[in-house]
């Protein structure tokens, strides 16, 4: 007879004498009977990012109860624990500054505690990558449960969601929308639990984990307020217990083909550019070789299939009713790696075999897509030797090949001071350049890359201009926006050398971004470059500035790449 493998949690709870007493006794103050510690029931950690400061995840205590029912039903023993929760809309100076910190919290909490498997409860933008990164560096059987998108908002008879914030802001700037109307729109937009309603970064991340095989089918699209989200949680609870018995670890799922699938699916969805940073960081945690050009190579084969904002017209809620992510994936199944293993124990292709599309306004086909161009364009050139990115599906076709005069903002304060100055020497053919918003420069690489246009050009009816920075853009943002310029200006990347009046050539079809100055002039500017002093402080920000890597490397800390496994040799007493 095959010997049953001893559960990891028994290295704590299965002990005799003093150690066993210490590991069990205090746990029993929660009213837990002794038999739960005897090694028959896998301990499932529920890694919960619930926080009232993270409104997108504020319904997670409820959702965790549904998850626990499934875990109990399957013979597991659920224990919930909190980790650092990053709310995109509240955290200053930017939630991205703390993604790596949260991932460290997650990694050490999982490794240090007696659990056999873990469910990661993720919602708002950074809560998914931070949890997946941390868990990947431990490598237990792990399943991701997302919180689901909000119901679509309605304002003045029109459907609205986060991508309208940028439109409202422009209308407010032009005096077309009053402060009172703003306040009404705020409540109308956020009318239910859940994360942002468009295919912003949160839904992009929920789709990413589904495409990677880390989540159950439909994880990405069931609305947070739909009772089927609780059913999904219940089923996730059942499945994680089985995964522990099968020893289905993260490293068995997170293989190179799974990453390729995630890139292709992101293109089909017109997902967020933040996807690039987070997927790169996750790949480096598990030792999968993935570089920036892979994002272009694999996404260029895929048109836009989902008609969801900001690349399309509708909302993630609508996408669920139309068949959800499985139906989207089915349209590109001939491009995907069929055999990739997933948390269901089945392959990706098996998971989606029965998917159906119920609405062709929402889900196009490969032959008749919503837009022919999607995915991520990776640019190279003397302005971005390590790359820069642009999302063609969010850009204006007439600007994809454009040469214009640079109008330079030295940092975010300079931009805010000048942008609406009527005397600013700028017209719609210019290229707006912002420096010092990269990982170290800001610090934390904020979502300011889709900088708002000058009021005087908005008043003329101008909707888009070429904008370039070393920062990021919200997943709900749009425009002809070049992001993630690497290396960043604050450490002497060539973006730092751009001067007002220089000509810049953007050539997306040929994947080029060029500062039109001679090599000799570039060298001269490099030699006279005086680095801006980085905002070193004590504490975490100090660590961040010392150890963070660049955009093309995923903005992770150098010392967090790779995994330390799940074994802890020493006891606590
Ligand atoms: Fe949390 Fe958009 S602010 S998902
Ligand atoms: Mg966002």
Alpha-carbon distance of 329 to 363, in angstroms, equals 10
Alpha-carbon distance of 430 to 436, in angstroms, equals 20
Ligand showing the shortest atom-to-Cα distance for residue 150: 1
pLDDT recorded at residue 476: 85
| pLDDT above 90 coverage of the chain, percent | 92
The answer to whether the CB of 160 falls within 8 A of the CB of 195 is no
The answer to whether the CB of 271 falls within 8 A of the CB of 204 is yes
Alpha-carbon distance of 387 to 526, in angstroms, equals 18
The better pLDDT of the pair 325, 310 is held by 325
Examine the pLDDT at 497 and tell me if it is beyond 90: yes
Alpha-carbon distance of 392 to 312, in angstroms, equals 12
- Give 155 Cα–ligand 1 centroid separation in angstroms: 19
Identify the structural domains of the chain with CATH numbers, from first to last: 42-151+192-353 (3.40.50.2300), 154-191 (no CATH), 377-528 (3.50.30.80)
> Using a CB cutoff of 8 Å and minimum separation of 24, what contacts does 164-173 make?
164/189, 165/189, 165/476, 166/450, 166/452, 166/474, 166/476, 166/477, 166/478, 169/452, 170/452, 170/453, 170/458, 173/420, 173/452, 173/455, 173/458
**pLDDT tens digits along 211-234:** 999 999 999 999 999 999 999 999
Give the ligand 1 atom nearest the CA of 89: 3
The answer to whether the CB of 261 falls within 8 A of the CB of 302 is no
pLDDT recorded at residue 197: 97
Q: Is 303 left (phi over 0), alpha (psi -120 to 50) or beta?
A: beta
The answer to whether the CB of 147 falls within 8 A of the CB of 570 is no
- Give 154 Cα–ligand 2 centroid separation in angstroms: 20
pLDDT recorded at residue 1: 47
Q: Is 432 left (phi over 0), alpha (psi -120 to 50) or beta?
A: beta
**Burial label, 245 (beta-carbon count in 10 A; 0-12, 13-18, 19+):** middle
Nearest CA to ligand 1 atom 2: 196
169 confidence band (pLDDT: 50, 70, 90): confident
- Which residues does ligand 1 sit against, CB inside 6 Å? 56, 88-89, 124-125, 162, 195-196, 200, 202
The answer to whether the CB of 99 falls within 8 A of the CB of 129 is yes
pLDDT recorded at residue 375: 85
Mean pLDDT value across residues 454-473: 96
Name the residue of 50, 57, 86, 89 whose CB sits within 8 Å of the most ligand 1 atoms, as the mutation to test its pocket.
Answer: 89
Nearest CA to ligand 1 atom 1: 124
pLDDT recorded at residue 289: 95
Sorted by sequence, the CB contacts under 8 Å of residue 542 that are 6+ apart come out as 536
pLDDT recorded at residue 58: 98
- Give 474 Cα–ligand 2 centroid separation in angstroms: 4
Examine the pLDDT at 319 and tell me if it is beyond 60: yes
Query: What is the reported pTM?
Result: 0.97
- Give 476 Cα–ligand 2 centroid separation in angstroms: 7
Give the ligand 1 atom nearest the CA of 123: 4
Q: Which residues pair with 48 in a beta bridge?
A: 82, 121
**pLDDT tens digits along 75-91:** 999 999 999 999 999 99
Examine the pLDDT at 572 and tell me if it is beyond 50: yes
The structure tokens 């820069």 sit at 388
Give the ligand 1 atom nearest the CA of 125: 4
Alpha-carbon distance of 378 to 449, in angstroms, equals 16
Name the residue of 95, 200, 473 whose CB sits within 8 Å of the most ligand 1 atoms, as the mutation to test its pocket.
Answer: 200
**pLDDT tens digits along 426-436:** 999 999 999 99
**pLDDT tens digits along 105-148:** 999 999 999 999 999 999 999 999 999 999 999 999 999 999 99
**ipTM value for the complex:** 0.91
Examine the pLDDT at 535 and tell me if it is beyond 80: no
Mean pLDDT value across residues 324-330: 98
| Residues 396, 400, 403, 406, Cα dihedral to 10° | 60
Examine the pLDDT at 301 and tell me if it is beyond 90: no
- Give 493 Cα–ligand 1 centroid separation in angstroms: 31
User: Cα Rg for the chain, rounded, in angstroms?
Assistant: 24
pLDDT recorded at residue 109: 98
3 confidence band (pLDDT: 50, 70, 90): low
Examine the pLDDT at 425 and tell me if it is beyond 50: yes
Name the residue of 124, 129, 203 whose CB sits within 8 Å of the most ligand 1 atoms, as the mutation to test its pocket.
Answer: 124
Strand order in the sheet with 117-122: 77-82, 43-48, 117-122, 142-146
Sorted by sequence, the CB contacts under 8 Å of residue 422 that are 6+ apart come out as 456
pLDDT recorded at residue 54: 98
């Amino acid at each position: 007879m095959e010997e049953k493998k001893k559960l990891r949690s028994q290295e704590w709870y299965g002990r005799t004498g003093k150690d066993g007493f210490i590991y069990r006794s205090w746990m029993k103050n929660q009213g837990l009977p002794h038999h739960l510690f005897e090694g028959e029931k896998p301990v499932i950690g529920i890694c919960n990012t619930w926080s009232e400061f993270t409104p997108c995840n504020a319904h997670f205590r409820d959702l965790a109860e549904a998850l626990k029912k499934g875990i109990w039903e399957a013979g597991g023993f659920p224990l919930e624990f909190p980790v650092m929760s990053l709310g995109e809309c509240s955290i200053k100076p930017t939630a991205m500054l703390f993604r790596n910190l949260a991932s460290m919290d997650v990694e050490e909490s999982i490794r240090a505690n007696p659990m056999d498997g873990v469910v990661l409860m993720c919602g708002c933008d950074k809560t998914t990558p931070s949890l997946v990164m941390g868990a990947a560096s431990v490598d237990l059987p792990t399943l991701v449960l997302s919180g689901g998108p909000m119901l679509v908002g309605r304002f003045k008879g029109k459907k609205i969601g986060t991508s309208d914030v940028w439109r409202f802001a422009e209308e407010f700037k032009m005096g077309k929308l009053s402060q009172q109307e703003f306040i009404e729109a705020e409540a109308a937009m956020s009318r239910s639990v859940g994360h942002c309603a468009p295919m912003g970064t949160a839904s992009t991340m929920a789709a990413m984990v589904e495409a990677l095989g880390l989540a159950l089918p439909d994880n990405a699209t069931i609305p947070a307020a739909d009772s089927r989200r609780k059913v999904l949680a219940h089923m996730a609870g059942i499945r994680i217990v089985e995964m522990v018995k099968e020893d289905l670890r993260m490293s068995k799922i997170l293989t190179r083909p799974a990453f390729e699938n995630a890139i292709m699916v992101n293109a089909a969805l017109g997902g967020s550019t933040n996807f690039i940073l987070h997927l790169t960081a996750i790949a480096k945690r598990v030792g999968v070789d993935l570089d920036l050009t892979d994002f272009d190579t694999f996404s260029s084969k895929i048109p836009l299939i989902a008609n969801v904002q900001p690349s399309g017209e509708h909302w993630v809620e609508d996408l669920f009713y139309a068949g959800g992510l499985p139906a989207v994936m089915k349209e590109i199944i001939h491009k995907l790696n069929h055999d990739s293993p997933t948390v269901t124990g089945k392959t990706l292709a098996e998971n989606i075999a029965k998917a159906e599309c119920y609405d062709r306004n929402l889900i196009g086909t490969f032959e008749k897509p919503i837009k022919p161009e999607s995915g991520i364009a990776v640019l190279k050139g003397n302005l971005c030797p390590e790359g820069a990115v642009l999302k063609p599906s969010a850009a204006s076709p007439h600007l994809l090949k454009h040469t214009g005069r640079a109008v330079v903002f030295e940092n975010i304060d300079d931009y805010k001071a000048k942008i609406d100055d009527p005397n600013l020497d700028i017209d719609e053919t210019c290229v707006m350049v912002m420096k010092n918003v990269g990982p170290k420069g800001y610090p934390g690489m904020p979502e300011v890359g889709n900088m708002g246009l000058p009021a005087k050009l908005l008043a003329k009816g101008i909707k888009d201009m070429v904008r370039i920075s070393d920062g990021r853009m919200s997943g709900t943002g749009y425009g002809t926006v070049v992001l993630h310029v690497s290396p960043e200006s604050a450490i002497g990347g060539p973006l730092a050398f751009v001067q007002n009046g220089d000509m810049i050539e953007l050539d997306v079809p040929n994947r080029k971004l060029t500062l039109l100055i001679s090599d000799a002039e570039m060298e001269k500017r490099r030699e006279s470059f005086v680095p801006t002093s980085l905002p070193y402080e004590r504490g975490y920000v100090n660590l961040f500035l010392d150890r963070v890597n660049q955009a093309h490397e995923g903005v992770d800390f150098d010392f967090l790449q790779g995994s330390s496994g799940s074994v802890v040799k020493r006891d606590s007493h």
